[in-house]
Every structure is written in C-alpha cells, then in structure tokens.
Amino acid sequence: MAQTLYPPEHVLSIGEVLDLSFRIFRVSLLKCLPLAVAALLLAQLPNIYSVLHGGSLAGVLLGEHDSVWWVLYVVGWLLSTALWGAVLVRQHAVISGQGGTAMDAIGVGLRRLAGMIAIGVIIVLAIGVCLVPAGLLMGNRLAMGLAILVLLVPASYVMLRLSCASTAYLINRWGIFESVQRSWTLTEGAFWRLAVIYTVALFVLIVFYFVAATVAGAVAVPLGFGDVAIVTAVTTSIVVILGAVATPFFTAIALAVFGDLSARREGADLAARISGPATP
C-alpha cells in the first residue's frame, strides 16, 4: 500500500483529501514519531535548561532569561525546524515507496534548513504587508482592531496561497523562489477548498490536544501519589509524546493537499494542451 498511496492517481474531493491525510498519518506514524519527539524536545531546550538551573515557570513566562537560554533557544529552534522538515521528507519517502532512512531525512532537513527559514520569512513578510494599514491606526485602538479584523481576510488569502511552498521545497528539491511561485500557481482558485480542509484539520488537532491533556492528567495523578514533582514529570513526558503526534498529522495534511493540487494542476495543464491549437 505504501507504494501506491502517494501521489494520488486522480483529483480528490475535500473528503478524499482528508481521508488521504489520515491514511498517510496512519501508515507513517511509527517511522516519523521519533523525529517528531526529538523536534519537540529540542524546541524545549531553553526551558529544560531553566528548570535544571532552578528557574521557575513564572520566570520563563516573564522573560527572565540569561545568554545561555537565548543560545539554546536559537539552537533548539533551528534544529527543531530541520527535524520538522525531516518528518515531512521521511513521511513522503514512506508513502511513495522511495525507501531511505530517518538519517537520510535528517540530512535533507539540515541541508534545506536555510531555505525553509527563507520561505518562512517570505510568508511572514507577505502576511505582514497585508496588515500594514492597521499599523497606521495605532493611535486609535478600536479602529486598529477593526482594521486588523478586516485585513485578516487578505492575510489569510496570502497565507493559504503560500501554504504549499515548504512542502514543494522539501520533496521536489526546487529552489526557494520557484517553490513559492509553484505554491501560488497550485493554489489558484482553491482558497475556499483549502480553508475548509485546514479548518477541519485544526478542529481535529484541538480535539486531540484536549484528549491528550485529559489522558496526561488521568495517568499522572495516580502515578504521582500526590508528589507534585512526580506528577509534573509524568505529565510533561506524556504531553511531549502525545503532542509529538501532531507533527506527523500536520505534515500528512500538507502532503495530501500538495498531492491533490498537483494532480489538479496537471489535469488543467493537460486539458489546456488538448484544447489548444495544434502545432505543425
């Protein structure tokens, strides 16, 4: 099944895209979970440092950080981003029958890290441009708030149009700007379709996190025997493991959407060639 699961052989409905996402997630979860757990732990490096050195949660939230904390924050963010890319690459290899190992995926994530960051910056800047007019109303909080609400529509439009850029960059090995341009082309006319798919996916993640938190609390309290430190440690461990499951789910959605949009674009291009004037 892994060899025929991806890419999709035909254009999919919204329900079929979601179904493909769950199938990708189910088939690839065990092989991607170690990478996702590692990414989550690396992202928590500065907070782990704070706890080990007697820091408090209140201090972390209030921004009481030393230079080591900030170094670990940057290093952890960079490595976790690379591993996020590795999860997607590994998942794609599993479902498309390409083979390869987790180390191969990590290698791709590290080599393409700078490009992923550049694409992220491009997306943030593009969204920021949409929200610039709201910044001109900083003197009037009400007007600025209303402006932000209105400008969220074009900002969301831009975000969805560029949502496939990282996926294209990682699995097709295109350049940064080519990946951004391909994402814009693939998502043309698919705004509402993507909005529905991502909204359903977001709802699923919210439910999952709620269930994960409930399970973590139900397991931690009996195991901790009233010891706050043990309860905290057990809860954190469970949340890390269950929370890491969300990463392969997110990348599964990204792959399913990209596969469907690619099939649609190929079909549109083929139809255009067939209906176009014959070449001598």
Length of the chain: 280
Residue with tokens 């979601």: 18
Q: Is the dihedral of CA 50, 51, 54, 56 positive or negative?
A: positive
- 110-128 b/e with 16+ CB inside 10 Å = b? bebbebbebbeebbeebbe
pLDDT of residue 278: 42
Do residues 160 and 195 make contact, with C-beta atoms less than 8 angstroms apart? Answer: yes
Count of C-beta atoms within a 10 Å radius of residue 62:
9
Max CA separation in the chain (angstroms)? 83
Spell out the domain ranges in the chain. 14-116+190-267
pLDDT of residue 160: 95
pLDDT of residue 115: 96
Give me the average pLDDT of each 10-residue run along the chain (280 residues). 70 93 94 93 83 61 74 94 96 89 95 96 93 72 78 91 96 92 94 94 86 71 59 64 85 95 73 47
pLDDT of residue 231: 58
pLDDT of residue 225: 56
Alpha-carbon gap, residue 149 to 156, rounded angstroms: 11
CA distance from start to end of the chain? 43
Alpha-carbon gap, residue 29 to 43, rounded angstroms: 20
